[in-house]
Amino acid sequence: MIKVYGVHGSPFVRKVLIALDIKGIPYEVVQQMPFSRDAEYLKINPLGKVPALVDDDLTLCDSKVICQYLEDAYPEVALYPKNPKERARAHWYEDLCAGRVAELASGIFFQRFMRPFILKQEADEVLVAKIIDRDLPPMLDYLESQIPADGFIFGDFMMADLSVISPFINAGYAGYQVDAARWPAVAGLIARVKQQPQVKAVLELEAKALGLG
Amino acid sequence: MIKVYGVHGSPFVRKVLIALDIKGIPYEVVQQMPFSRDAEYLKINPLGKVPALVDDDLTLCDSKVICQYLEDAYPEVALYPKNPKERARAHWYEDLCAGRVAELASGIFFQRFMRPFILKQEADEVLVAKIIDRDLPPMLDYLESQIPADGFIFGDFMMADLSVISPFINAGYAGYQVDAARWPAVAGLIARVKQQPQVKAVLELEAKALGLG
């Protein structure tokens, strides 16, 4: 059976678990915190990040790479467009949102959720203000220009939609909400994706794992 | 005609130009420095990074995303394996080497090439020593475990090979050489990829652009 190394609450692990659920592929989750210095895990992922996936003789890291692998190896239900230009746009949105956008959203999550509730430290509010007021708006402006006012990016619900909104789930745990007056398409997409049954199910597991249940 | 925004010398632009050359696709290079604050370019890539590619009505960023798009839209000459597991491994190596490995190699390049020769500043040798002695060896150990002693990763020369070695070209401009006694597979792959005709041709253009010619 497929093994996914990771923990509930990671925006990257979330993508992989939801992709597996939508495709109806059985899996087990091996509890693995990110950025562990565990030498055994570093053999699986030299970056120490999560998720990693083991499928028989294949060991694979990075949520983008894993989700595209699942699409290639288990084509039903389709989670990426078949048209090369649309598929490329899906990959780019996924790369941007698993990269810079996740970095910013995770900054909010770390300062305003992990530090006060888990680490018993004060948040660095200067850093949070820079993210919210200076760094995140250009990313949201760009995403707003790419996302339709209604429905999903490529018609049906797909990885592109989930990739774009996943970082904002974590920022949401820390109290940040995308301003629906300024970025209505992004805010609307977040709301629609959260209503997808497989997304809802994984978010319920996360809420329990994070003590929000 | 396809437009590639970027400059010679970027490890990411290099991958795209070589992929286009191998596939025999005509293109023009639009000179674009990375991390420019140019508002027009930020509409193309909100990260300000290079390369970006424009193919008719498609605007696309990120070298990994662009190279996989070129493969899907222009399948000949094949640069990724067709087998899903091999293709996934190719994507993972590309992600790792365009991510953490490139970050470390670019650190050496910036400190020991850009600062002394372009910016007329002193290199931060403490930082360079940390990269060379502490951060890069675990990445090289991992790559060494994944790369065959001879030939290319998937038999024929492909993007995976180019992706793995591209950061080390830049570190090489700054005088860093992968220790062939400690990491013979990596050092051997670097040497073999540099001998590929399309790689040689692009490296000659780079040498001129960087004043190394």
DSSP string, chain B: -EEEEE-TT-HHHHHHHHHHHHHT--EEEEE--TT---HHHHHH-TT--S-EEEETTEEEE-HHHHHHHHHHHS-SSP-S-SSHHHHHHHHHHHHHIIIIIHHHHHHHHIIIIIIIIII-----HHHHHHIIIIIHHHHHHHHHHHS-SSSBTBBB--HHHHHHHHHHHHHHHTT----TTT-HHHHHHHHHHHTSHHHHHHHHHHHHHTT--
In this structure, the number of other CB atoms found within 10 A of the CB of residue B63 comes to: 28
Q: Taking the C-alpha atoms of A44, A49, A50 and A54 in order, what is their torsion angle to the nearest 10 degrees?
A: -10
Say whether pLDDT at A202 is over 90.
yes
Is B139's CB within 8 Å of A46's CB? Answer: yes
pLDDT tens profile A114-138: 999 989 999 999 999 999 999 999 9
pLDDT tens profile A3-23: 999 999 999 999 999 999 999
What does the pLDDT read at residue A35? 85
Indicate which of A47, A54, A163 best probes the interface with B, i.e. most B CBs within 10 Å of its own CB.
Answer: A47
pLDDT tens profile B91-146: 999 999 999 999 999 999 999 999 999 899 999 999 999 999 999 999 999 999 99
The backbone torsions φ and ψ at residue A140, rounded to the nearest 5 degrees and listed phi first, read -65, -40
Does any CB of chain B come closer than 8 Å to the CB of residue A117? no
Q: Taking the C-alpha atoms of B191, B166, B133 and B207 in order, what is their torsion angle to the nearest 10 degrees?
A: 80
| Cα(B49)–Cα(A78) distance, integer angstroms | 30
pLDDT tens profile A65-84: 999 999 999 999 999 999 99
Is A87's CB within 8 Å of B72's CB? Answer: yes
pLDDT tens profile B167-192: 999 999 999 999 999 999 999 999 99
Does domain A84-196 fall under CATH 2.40.50.140? My reply is no
Chain B hits for A57, Cβ within 8 Å:
85
What does the pLDDT read at residue B48? 96
Q: What is the average pLDDT value for chain B, to the nearest integer?
A: 97
Report in angstroms the alpha-carbon separations of B113 from B118, B124, B171, B174: 7, 11, 9, 5
Helix (H, G, I), strand (E, B) or coil at A170: helix
Q: Stretch A13-38: mean pLDDT, rounded?
A: 95
Is A88's CB within 8 Å of B72's CB? Answer: yes
The whole-angstrom distance between B55's CA and the closest CA on chain A is 9
pLDDT band at residue B212 using 50, 70 and 90 as cut-offs: confident
Chain A hits for B2, Cβ within 8 Å:
none
Helix (H) or strand (E) holding A135: none
pLDDT tens profile B139-175: 999 999 999 999 999 999 999 999 999 999 999 999 9
pLDDT tens profile A139-190: 999 999 999 999 999 999 999 999 999 999 999 999 999 999 999 999 999 9
Count of pairs with CB atoms under 8 A, one residue in A, one in B: 88
pLDDT band at residue B35 using 50, 70 and 90 as cut-offs: confident
Is A138's CB within 8 Å of B58's CB? Answer: no
Under DSSP, the state recorded for A8 is: T
Under DSSP, the state recorded for A78 is: P
pLDDT band at residue A196 using 50, 70 and 90 as cut-offs: very high
What's the distance, CA B37 to chain centroid? 23
CATH of B2-73, one of 3.40.30.10, 1.50.10.10, 1.10.40.50, 3.40.50.150: 3.40.30.10
What does the pLDDT read at residue A37? 86
ipTM value > 0.90 = yes
Q: What are the structural domain ranges in chain B?
A: 2-73, 84-196
Q: Stretch B48-71: mean pLDDT, rounded?
A: 98
Is A88's CB within 8 Å of B100's CB? Answer: no
